[in-house]
């Protein structure tokens, strides 16, 4: 017979609650009274926090993601956030350049139209009329 105690989910929750509500300096007494190691209690708290405490079977109960896996996922997601922020910043810079280019092109177009209007020949005068004198 194994000396390992099997706790129900309700018992685990009660022990966790008692431990968490115990004043500083008395938490160890709670662990000793129930015969639970701190590491076991910490694992129960992790399972509870991940919503797995009630769904635990007697065998093969594991977290969906280990703390090490969570850390690597957090690192990956932070890198993804940095990459997306860099893309956003580049897109904003590209937009500013495009807006400035559009403004310059608009001004150039207006200038060319003005030059075209001023270069247009005036109405041809009637060849039978005398040229205007510059007196």
- Domain of residue 15 covers 9-49
- Whether residues 80 and 109 share a domain: the answer is yes
What digits encode the pLDDT tens for the residues 36-86?
999 999 988 888 887 777 765 444 455 455 667 678 888 889 999 999 999
Distance between CA atoms of 105 and 100, rounded to whole angstroms?
9
- Whether residues 13 and 41 share a domain: the answer is yes
For residue 29, tell me if it sits in a domain.
yes
Question: If you average pLDDT over every residue of the chain, what do you get?
Answer: 83
- Tally the domains of the chain: 2
The full length of the chain comes to 135
- Whether residues 69 and 38 share a domain: the answer is no
Q: Which residue has the higher pLDDT, 35 or 61?
A: 35
- Whether residues 45 and 74 share a domain: the answer is no
For residue 60, tell me if it sits in a domain.
no
- Whether residues 34 and 78 share a domain: the answer is no
For residue 131, tell me if it sits in a domain.
no
């Amino acid at each position: 017979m194994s000396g390992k105690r099997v706790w129900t989910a309700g018992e685990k929750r009660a022990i966790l609650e008692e431990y968490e509500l115990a004043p500083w300096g008395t938490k160890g007494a709670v662990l000793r009274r129930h015969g639970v190691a701190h590491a076991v209690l910490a694992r129960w708290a992790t399972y509870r926090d991940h919503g797995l405490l009630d769904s635990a079977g007697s065998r093969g109960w594991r977290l969906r993601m280990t703390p090490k896996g969570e850390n690597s996922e957090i690192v990956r997601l932070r890198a993804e956030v940095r990459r997306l922020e860099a893309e956003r910043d580049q897109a904003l810079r590209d937009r500013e350049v495009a807006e400035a280019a559009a403004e310059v092109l608009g001004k150039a177009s207006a200038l060319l139209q003005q030059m075209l209007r001023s270069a247009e020949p005036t109405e041809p005068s009637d060849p039978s009329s005398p040229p205007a004198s510059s007196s």
